[in-house]
Amino acid sequence: MTSPTKRTRAPGGTRIERDSDGRGDVGLQIGRVARQLRDSQGLTLAEAAASAGISPAMLSRIETGGVTPSLETLVSLSAALGVRPATLLQDLGEETDGAQHVPSGRGLEVVRRGTRRGHTYHLLAAQRGPRKAFEPFLVTLTDKSETFPGFQHAGTEFIYILSGTIRYRHGTESYLLQPGDSLSFRGDIPHGPEKLEKVPIRMLSIIVYDEPELSSR
């Protein structure tokens, strides 16, 4: 049986629907997606809040569903996270009995720090809890003139080339990767694309954390 709902207004005039227990479904969804995006980019709470022009305390309340952001805050937060405002209003797939289904084209598009236009990273799954064991991305690279940053993160990364040809750097080594090739490596050693030999390039990138990581950033 569905619980009765009542309408109310959040700070800034955003209308939300709440269940009878007082929970705001829209606010919880926005907060969950914002946290997934922030974590996927390695941004601390303070960094994301400063970029959005709000306090870390306010961002924390948004991420936990304690408050539903006003339209102005929603726009500022989406810009800070490198997505369209509508992205914060969508959920990441349907989760049933422990499985998470993300239909084609529905992965959340995120902007990795240091990259510019022409590159897309779609997050294909995100665990709903305080710990994460892995993060899978579908990466599309299209701009030959890009100057790439070096990435570093916890855990082990596995990449698999679906199309195109790329020269990929890990530490002092460089690898030429073509469709069907894969590469796995330690994430704490600087790594990243070195040269796009044949674009567009599409690849799967899966980061597996050695131990479930407490997301306290």
Distance CA 189, CA 196 (A): 21
Distance CA 27, CA 18 (A): 9
Confidence of residue 181 (pLDDT cuts 50, 70, 90): very high
Domains of the chain (ranges; CATH) run: 1-91 (1.10.260.40), 96-217 (2.60.120.10)
What are the angstrom distances between the C-alpha of 187 and each of 31, 74, 130, 155?
27, 32, 21, 5
| Number of continuous H segments (helices) and E segments (strands) in the chain | 4, 11
Beta partners for 95?
100
Distance CA 120, CA 134 (A): 19
- Total-model pTM: 0.58
Q: What does the pLDDT look like over 41-72, one tens digit per residue?
A: 778 899 899 989 999 999 998 988 888 888 88
Least confident of 141-150, 151-160, 179-188: 141-150
> Is pLDDT above 80 for 171?
yes
